[in-house]
Amino acid sequence: MNLNYPLPRANAQTNAYWDGCAQGELRYQRCGQCGQVQCIPRSLCDRCQSSDLPWSASRREGTVLTFTTVYRAPLPAFKEMLPYVIAIVDLDEGFRVMANALSCVPPDALAIGARVRIGFKEVHGMALPVLESILEGAK
Ligand SMILES: [Zn+2]
């Protein structure tokens, strides 16, 4: 494991999310009281502060809100990945994920508004959400 690579750290609130990623599931919370969808996981609902927050699994399809191509590594650990694409995707269930695109999704094929699918990639022993493929709306 490359200790210089900044991996997310699971905690009591996010364990179920990261366990889901390891099992190929993109999980989110839907409030049992008011229906609010949230991800980043929290112990209380954003809207009504209920702690009744069961987990659901996303269909992993969504729409690109925005994206950028990174040509200069913000940390030395990212240099070998250059250039890479970071996208913000609005999932159909109503939450948002920021994810790197797999190299099979070239930046010149991506577009704002494109329909995409989220998958997972193992990075230094941890399964991270990634933009896996473009479903429709490619340039
Ligand atoms: Zn609520």
Asked if 43 and 70 sit in the same domain, the reply is no
Distance 63 CA to ligand 1 centre (A): 25
Q: Structural domain of residue 126, as residue ranges? A: 59-139
| Residue 85 maps to a domain | yes
Task: Find all residues with CB under 8 Å of 60, minimum gap 6, and list them.
Answer: 26, 91, 117, 118, 119, 132
- Looking at the predicted structure, is the pLDDT value of residue 96 above 90? yes
> How do residues 56-67 score in pLDDT, each as one tens digit?
999 999 999 999
Helix (H) or strand (E) run with residue 37 in it: strand 37-38
Determine the distance separating the centroid of ligand 1 and the alpha carbon of 29, expressed in angstroms: 10
Q: How far is the CA of 132 from the centre of ligand 1 (A)?
A: 31
Q: Specify the higher pLDDT residue, 2 or 9.
A: 9
Q: pLDDT digit string (tens) for 14-67?
A: 999 999 999 999 999 999 999 999 998 999 999 999 999 999 999 999 999 999
Instruction: Tell me, yes or no, whether 5 lies in a domain.
Output: no
Q: What is the pLDDT of residues 68-81, one digit of tens each?
A: 999 999 999 999 98
Separation of CA 49 and ligand 1 centre (Å):
6
Number of domains in the chain: 2
Q: Mark whether 88 and 128 lie in a shared domain.
A: yes
Does 2 have pLDDT greater than 70? no
Is residue 1 a part of any domain in this protein? no
Indicate if 43 and 76 belong to the same structural domain.
no
Verify that 87 and 128 share a domain, yes or no: yes
Please give the distance, rounded to the nearest whole angstrom, from the Cα atom of residue 93 to the centre of ligand 1.
15
Residue 2 inside a domain? The answer is no
Same domain, 125 and 77: yes
pLDDT of 1 > 60? The answer is no
Of 81-85, 128-132, 135-139, least confident by mean pLDDT is: 135-139
Ligand 1 center to 32 CA (angstroms) = 7
Q: Are residues 135 and 67 in the same domain?
A: yes
**CA distances from residue 83 to 67, 69, 71, 72, 86 in whole angstroms, order as listed:** 13, 7, 5, 8, 10
